[in-house]
Chain A
Amino acid sequence: MSAAPWRRSMNGGLRGPTAAGAAPPLAAVVVTSQGKPDVRGAAGDAPAGFRRSWQHLRAHHVLVGVLLLVLPFVATPFMTFQVAAQSLVLGLIALSLTFLGGYGGMVSLAQMSVAGMAGYAVAILGVSSTEVSLGWPWWLAVPFAVLIATACATVIGWLSVRTEGIYTIMITLAFGVAFYYLVLQNYTVFNGFQGFQKVYPPQLLGIDWRDPRPFYFLSLFWALAGYLAVKWLVRTPFGVALQGVRDNPRRMAALGFHVVAHRVAAYAVAGAIAAVGGVLLVWYNGLISPGSVNTGWQINILVIAVLGGMRHPIGAFLGAAVFVLLQTFAIDVIDRERFNLVIGVVFLAIVLFSPDGLLGLWAKLRSRFGPNRTVIPPPTRH
C-alpha cells in the first residue's frame, strides 16, 4: 500500500480543503482530530486493522453499547420511537454525508434526495394506500429501492465530481431541487403533492416492526452497520486513497490513482447508506410526500452532519440526536411562535464556538480539562 507513507508525509504538510475549513484558533485540536483516525487508518493494512479493532474496544464503547441496548426498556415509547429511533435514522442519512464530506471532501446536498428516492421507490414498488403503488412484497421492493437509489446516487456523483467546493454544493442542490419538483408535479408515478400514505414496515416473525421497540432495534442495527461499514471502509486501501484524493487530487493522480473513479465510488457508497436510511425514514414516518425531500430537509441533513462534526462517523449520530431533541422540545422552552429562534441560536452557537461541531467541542473540553495527552496523541490511542 503505497498510500501509507505518502499519507504520513501529507499529515505534516499540505492541508486539504476540509482541514482549511477548520478555524485557526483550534489548530491543536485540528491536528488531534485529524491525526486520530487518519494516522491509525494508514498505519496498517485493512484486514488486519479490522481484526485488531476488537482490541480497541474500550470502556466508553461498552458503556455506549449498553446504554443503547437498555434505552428502549427504560425510556417511554415516545422517547424510544420519536427521539431515539428518529435520531438513528436521520443520523444514518447524515452519516452518508459525513463519509462523503469528511473522507471524500465532497459536500453533497443531494443525500436527502437519495434517501427520498429509496423511500419513494419503497412506496411505489411496495404497498401503500395509494393506487399508484405496485404492491410488491417487501423483500423484493426494499432491495430494489436501495438499488435504484444507489444507482441514482452514482449518476449524481458521476455528474458532480467534475466540480469542486461550492460548485459541488450547487450542483447537488440543483439535483435535489429538481427531484423535489419532479415528485411534486408528476402524478402518474410519484402521485404529486399527495405522495404516499400508509407505507409501513412488514409484519415479520410475528412482530410489528413499527412498534417503538422493534423499530428502535431495527434502526439501531442499520445505524450500527452503517457506522462500522464506514469505520472499516476508511481504513481499506480504497478509503485511504479516497482521503488522499480529498487532500490532494493532483498528487494522487500523479501517483496513478483514478481520481474520478474513487470519487464516484464514494458517491455510490454514500448513496447506499443514505438509501437504507431513506427506507427506514419512510417506514418511520409511514408516509412520503414532496415535503420530505424539499430544500429544507436537504439542508437539515447538512446541519446535522456539521453539528455533530464531520471528522468522525459518530458525529452524524450526535448531530442527529441534538437536532431531533431541539425539533421536538424547543417549543416547550419558549412556547410562543418563536421556538425556531432557539433552534437557530443553538446551531449558531455550536458552529460559532466549535467549527468542528460537537466532536470538536468535546476535544476542546478534553484538552482544557482532561489529562494533558491530546495535544500530541499517542498513535495507539483511540
Chain B
Amino acid sequence: MRLTKRIWMRSMIGAAAAMAVGGAAWAQGAPIKIGVLATLEGPFAAGGADGMRGAELAIKQRGGMVAGRKIEMVKASSNANPDVAVNAVRKLVEQDKVDIVVGPLSGGEGIAVKDYSKTQPNMTFINGGSGAQATTLVNPSPNFFRFNTEGAQWMVGLGKAAIDKGYKRVMVIAEDYAFPYSQVQGFMAEYCKLGGKVPVKAWVPLGGKDYSSVIARIPNNVDALLVVLGGADAVNFLNQYEAAGGDKPMMGGSITVSQDVLNYRGKRRDSLVGTMSAGPYADSFDGAEWKAFVADYQKNFPVSAGGYPSPSLFALVYYTNMKAALDGLDAVKGDLSGGQAKYREALSKMELKMPTGTVKLDANRQAIGSTFVTEVVKDAKGELTTRVLRKVDNVDQLLGMKKEDFQIGSRDVPACP
C-alpha cells in the first residue's frame, strides 16, 4: 500500500517536473530526452536487453553529449505485444515528455507504434529493431523513420548464391507469420527471377515443435531446403530431419544459423558445412569499422557484465537507429524547434555511416542498406563458424522491383512452382 502511494507520489512529482522541463526544453543546454523502447519482458527479453546495450553504446560513443546538450535516455519496456508497446510509447511521449522515441523491437509493435506516431505529428519516432514490411510500405507515417533494413531486404543475395551453387529447385520451410513471409520473399524475388523453382512452401505454426509432417512432404526432386526458423527450432528440425534419414543441403534465414545451430552435435554436423544464409550483418565480416564496433561493444559490455561475446542483431539495429537519431541532432545542432521539422528534414537526407556500410533513406523513410551472404565453414579447431561469401550494397525495400509490380510477401506471394 505504502509502495503504491509512493509510486503515486513519484508519478505526480514526475509529472510536475516533466511539465516544468517541457516548458524549458528548448533552452540551450537543457538535456535532450530520448525514450528507448525495447522488449525487456516476454519472448524477446534477451534480445531486447541487447538492443538497449546497442542504444547505450551509441550514446556512450558521444560521451553522453550531442550538440552541447546532455543526452538523457528514458527506458521503456514491452513484451512484444503491440498493445503494450503503444502504452509504453504513450507514456514516454505524454508522461515522460521525451523529445525523440527510439523503438520498438518486433514487427507487430512497429506497425502499432507507426500508427500512434500519426497522432503526435510534432514528435520524431525512429524505429528500434522492428522489421515488418508494412510499417513503411502501407500508410507510412511522415514522422516514423527506419534506419535498419527489414526481413525481405536481409535475404537479398541468397537467391543468386543458391543458383550459383546449382540449387535449381528449393523447398521452403518457414514459420507462419509476417517475418518469415518477408524473408522468403526476399529470397524468392531474386531466386525466381534467375530461373529457380520453389515447388512446395511449408508454413509451420509458430511455437510448433513437431516437424514430422513437414519432413514427410519434402519432395525427392528438390536440391535444397530453405529453413526459416528461429535458432532453437532450427536445431529441433535438424534433429528430426536427421532421424528421418534426410540428406538435402540446407539454407537458412537471417536468424536461423545462430550459435545454437553451429553448436549442433548430431551426425549431420559435417553436412552443415556449406549451409548458406543471409542477413544484415555477419560476425565474420572483416571491415575495419565493423571490427572497431565489435571491440567497442565488448569493451563496454563484457560478458562478465551480461553482454554477449559479440553484438547480436538487436544490438546492431538499435545502435544503428540511435546513431541515426544522434547524428541527426548533431546535423541540426540540437535544434528541435518548429515541431522538429528541421530535424526530420535532416534525418530524411542523412547518409548514415554504419559499421556495415552506408545507409540512406527512401521516400517512405525506410533504410537502403547492405546485406551479407554467409556460409558455414569449419575452422582449424574443428568448430563450425561462418564466413562472408558476398556483401550486397544498396538493397532497397522494393527489392529492385517497380512500385506497381511489388506486393508485400505473404503465404502465396511470391510464387514460382
Give me the interface of A with B, judged by CB distance under 8 Å.
76-79, 81-82, 86, 129, 184-185, 187, 192-195, 197-198, 285-289, 291-292, 294, 296, 322, 325-333, 335, 337, 339-340, 342, 345-346, 349-350, 358, 361
The 7 closest A-B pairs by CB, nearest first: A291-B81, A78-B94, A193-B177, A285-B83, A78-B95, A329-B7, A337-B40
Q: State which of A77, A78, A194, A346 has its C-beta within 8 Å of the C-beta of B91.
A: A78
A156 to B95, CA, bound (A): 40
Of the residues B7, B15, B81, B111, contact of A325 by C-beta under 8 Å: B7
Cα(A287)–Cα(B113), bound, Å: 11
Q: Are A76 and B95 in contact (CB under 8 A)?
A: yes
Query: What is the predominant secondary structure among interface residues of chain B facing chain A?
Result: helix
Instruction: Name the CB-closest residue of B to A354.
Output: B1
Of B71-79, B215-223, B232-240, the segment with at least 4 beta carbons within 8 Å of chain A is B71-79
> Using Cβ atoms and an 8 Å threshold, which residues of chain A touch B86?
285-287
B304 within 8 A of partner (CB): no
Interface presence of B68 (CB below 8 A): no
Point out the residue from A197, A292, A333 that lies within 8 Å of B111, measured CB to CB. A197
- Expressed in whole angstroms, the Cα–Cα distance for A349 and B3 within the complex equals 10
Quick one: which of B16-55 are within 8 Å of A by CB? 40-41, 49, 52
In Å, the complex CA distance between A187 and B7 comes to 42
Interface string of B195-226 (1 = CB under 8 A from A): 00000000001100000000000000000000
Determine whether the beta carbon of A330 is less than 8 Å from that of B7: yes
Tell me if B302 is interfacial: C-beta within 8 Å of chain A: no
Cα(A134)–Cα(B257), bound, Å? 41
B191 to chain A, nearest CB (A): 24
Question: Given A78-B91, A78-B94, A82-B90, are A329 and B177 also a contact pair (CB < 8 Å)?
Answer: no
Contacts of B49 in A (CB 8 A): 337
> B61 at the A/B interface (Cβ < 8 Å)?
no
Q: Verify A79–B15 contact, CB threshold 8 A.
A: yes
Contact B82 A289 (CB under 8 A): yes
Q: What residue of chain A has the Cβ atom nearest to residue B1's Cβ?
A: A361
Which of B3, B6, B14 is the most central at the interface, judged by chain A CB atoms within 10 Å of its CB?
B3
Residue of B at shortest CB range from A282?
Answer: B83
CA distance A328 to B95 in the complex (A): 10
Q: Quote the shortest CB–CB distance from A320 to chain B (angstroms).
A: 13
Beta-carbon nearest neighbor of B4 in chain A: A322
Q: A185-B176, A193-B108 are in contact. Are A325 and B11 (CB under 8 A)?
A: yes
Please tell me if the beta carbons of B115 and A286 are within 8 angstroms of each other in the complex: yes
Neighbouring A residues of B84 by C-beta, 8 Å: 291
* Complex CA–CA separation, A203 to B40 (angstroms): 36
Q: Give the residues in chain A near B41, CB-CB below 8 Å.
A: 340
In whole angstroms, what is the CA distance A116 to B76 when docked?
Answer: 26
| CB <8 Å contact, B94 and A326 | no
User: Nearest chain-A residue to B7 (Cβ)?
Assistant: A329
User: Would you list 19 pairs from A and B whose C-beta atoms are within 8 A, ordered by A residue?
Assistant: A76-B95, A82-B91, A82-B94, A86-B87, A192-B176, A192-B177, A193-B176, A193-B177, A193-B206, A286-B86, A287-B82, A287-B83, A289-B83, A328-B11, A329-B7, A331-B76, A332-B10, A346-B3, A350-B1
Contacts of B7 in A (CB 8 A): 325-326, 329-330, 332-333
CB <8 Å contact, B81 and A292:
yes
Q: Closest Cβ of chain B: how far from A291's Cβ, in Å?
A: 3
Distance, CA A357 to CA B200, complexed state (A): 56
Tell me, yes or no, whether B263 is within 8 Å of chain A by CB.
Answer: no
Chain B residues, Cβ within 8 Å of A194: 108, 111, 177-178
Cβ–Cβ < 8 Å partners of B15 in chain A: 76, 79
Q: B11 to A195, Cβ gap below 8 A?
A: no
Known: A285-B82, A331-B75. 12 other contacts (CB 8 A): A86-B87, A185-B176, A194-B178, A195-B82, A287-B115, A289-B82, A292-B81, A325-B8, A328-B11, A331-B76, A332-B7, A337-B40
Q: Is B105's CB within 8 Å of the partner chain A?
A: no
Cβ of B284 within 8 Å of any chain A Cβ, yes or no, is no
Contact B77 A289 (CB under 8 A): no
| Minimal beta-carbon separation of B10 from chain A (angstroms) | 6
Contact in complex: A289, B79 (CB < 8 Å): no
Taking CB atoms, residues of chain B closer than 8 Å to A192 are 176-177
Residues in chain B near residue A328, CB distance under 8 A: 11, 87, 91, 95
**What is the bound-complex CA distance between A89 and B82, given in angstroms?**
18
Nearest-Cβ distance from residue A148 to partner chain B, whole angstroms:
21
Pick the contact of B77: A77, A331, A350 (CB < 8 A).
A331
Known contacts being A291-B82, A361-B1, is A197 close to B177, with CB within 8 Å? Answer: no
- Residues of A near B83 (CB, < 8 A) are 285, 287-289, 291-292
Look across to chain A and name the residue whose beta carbon is closest to the beta carbon of B11.
A329
Q: When chains A and B are docked, how far (Å) is the Cα of A192 from the Cα of B177?
A: 7
Least Cβ–Cβ distance between A187 and chain B, in angstroms: 8
Q: Is the CB of B115 within 8 A of A197?
A: yes
Whether A78 contacts B176 by the Cβ 8 Å rule is: no
A188 → chain B, closest Cβ, in Å? Answer: 11
Residue ID in chain B nearest A184 by CB atoms: B206
Q: Which residue of A lies closest to B15 (CB)?
A: A76
Which residues on A sit within 8 Å (CB–CB) of B40?
A: 337
Query: B395 at the A/B interface (Cβ < 8 Å)?
Result: no
Determine the distance from Cα of A292 to Cα of B109 in the docked complex, in whole angstroms.
12
Q: Which of B10, B52, B87, B411 contacts A82 (CB 8 A)?
A: B87
Task: Determine the residue in chain B with the shortest Cβ distance to A192.
Answer: B177
Q: Which residues of A contact B10 (CB under 8 A)?
A: 329, 332-333
In the complex the two chains form, is B177's CB within 8 Å of A346's CB?
A: no
Bound Cα distance from A322 to B2, whole angstroms: 12
B1, B79, B111, B115: residue with the most chain A Cβ atoms closer than 10 Å = B1
Verify if B80 is at the interface (C-beta below 8 Å from A).
yes
Given A79-B15, A193-B206: A326 and B4 interface contact (C-beta under 8 Å): yes
Distance in angstroms between the alpha carbons of A287 and B76 in the assembled complex: 20
Tell me if B112 is interfacial: C-beta within 8 Å of chain A: yes
Residues of A within 8 A of B138 (CB): 129
Interfacial chain B residues near A184, Cβ < 8 Å: 205-206
Distance, CA A285 to CA B111, complexed state (A): 13
Residues of A within 8 A of B271 (CB): none
* Residues in chain A near residue B95, CB distance under 8 A: 76, 78-79, 82, 328
Complex CA gap A286/B82 in Å reads: 10
Q: In the assembled complex, which residues on chain A have CB atoms less than 8 Å from the CB atom of B116?
A: 286
Contact across chains for B178 and A193 when beta carbons are under 8 A apart:
yes
In the complex, chain B residues whose CB is within 8 Å of the CB of A81: 90
Q: Does B139 contact A (CB under 8 A)?
A: yes
Does the CB pair A76–B94 fall under 8 Å? yes
Distance, CA A330 to CA B139, complexed state (A)? 34
A129 touches B139 (CB 8 A): yes
Q: Within the complex, what minimum Cβ distance (angstroms) separates B176 from chain A?
A: 7
Q: With a CB–CB cut-off of 8 A, which chain B residues contact A326?
A: 4, 7
B49-70 interface bits toward A, Cβ cutoff 8 Å, 1 = contact, 0 = none: 1001000000000000000000
CB-CB nearest in chain B for A284: B83
Q: Complex: how many Å from CA A344 to CA B176?
A: 34
Establish whether residues B4 and A325, one from each chain, have CB atoms under 8 Å apart when the complex forms.
Answer: yes
Q: How far is it, in angstroms, between the C-alpha of A220 and the C-alpha of B255 when the chains are bound?
A: 46
Closest Cβ of chain A: how far from B79's Cβ, in Å?
7
A361-B5 Cα distance, complex, nearest whole Å: 14
A325: nearest chain-B partner, CB-CB: B7
Residue of B nearest to A212 (CB): B94
Cα A291 to Cα B86 with chains together (Å): 13
**CA–CA, A73 to B69, complex, Å?**
35
